[in-house]
Amino acid sequence: MRPKTAYQILALPTGATREQIENNFRKMAMKYHPDLHPDDPHAARNFKEVAEAYEVLSNRITRREYDEIIQPKGKKFPRINYWRVYRKKRRRK
pLDDT of residue 5: 86
More confident residue, 83 or 42: 42
Using CA atoms, how far residue 54 sits from 38, 73, 74, 76, in Å, is 22, 23, 26, 23
Residue pair 91/82 in contact by the 8 Å Cβ criterion: no
Residue pair 66/6 in contact by the 8 Å Cβ criterion: yes
Q: Mean pLDDT over residues 29-34, rounded? A: 92
Q: H or E element: which one contains 37?
A: none
Give residue 1's pLDDT band: very low, low, confident or very high (50, 70, 90).
Answer: very low
Q: Return the closest-CA partner of residue 5 out of 74, 88, 71.
A: 71
**pLDDT tens-place string over residues 4-30:** 888 999 999 988 999 999 999 999 999
